[in-house]
Amino acid sequence: MEFVELKKIAQQTIAPRTTGRNCEVGHVACALLTMDNHVYTGVSLDLPCGIGFCAEHSAVAAMITAKESQIRKIVAVYQDGSILAPCGRCRELLSQVDDNNLNCEILLTSGPVTLEKLLPTRWDENRY
């Protein structure tokens, strides 16, 4: 699957709305392609008290639930359809879920880049 298709899936997943007094969801969506060629999607949850999470976390949780962990490609988009780079927390999550994910491709506005290039010095590289 090409990034054009994966980005379109992410854009189709966007569904911004308010679900509760303090809960805004779906302003960011993510689609990831696994090494087994399955696609998982997720949306962001914007909540107070630091309990919300990014769309990448949601997509990774769906992938893990399906007993997969290796990501081939991933893209996140904002509600206007524009591409978003993963935040530092998401980069760390992707790398910790499976060491092989350092080789996954992430679509940025400038084009695809590996997670390893976005996370060049891992905090635990000397531990193992």
For the chain, domains (ranges, CATH) are: 3-118 (3.40.140.10)
Q: What are 30-76's pLDDT values in tens digits?
A: 999 999 999 999 999 998 888 899 999 999 999 999 999 999 999 99
pLDDT of residue 111: 98
Predicted TM-score of the model (pTM): 0.93
pLDDT of residue 104: 98
Task: Report the distance separating Cα 8 and Cα 124, nearest Å.
Answer: 35
Average pLDDT score over the chain: 95
| Res. 128: pLDDT tops 70 | no
Q: Which strand (E) or helix (H) includes residue 13?
A: helix 3-13
Tokens standing for residue 14: 């966007």
pLDDT-based confidence at residue 127 (cuts at 50, 70, 90): low
pLDDT of residue 123: 73
Mean pLDDT of 6-27: 95
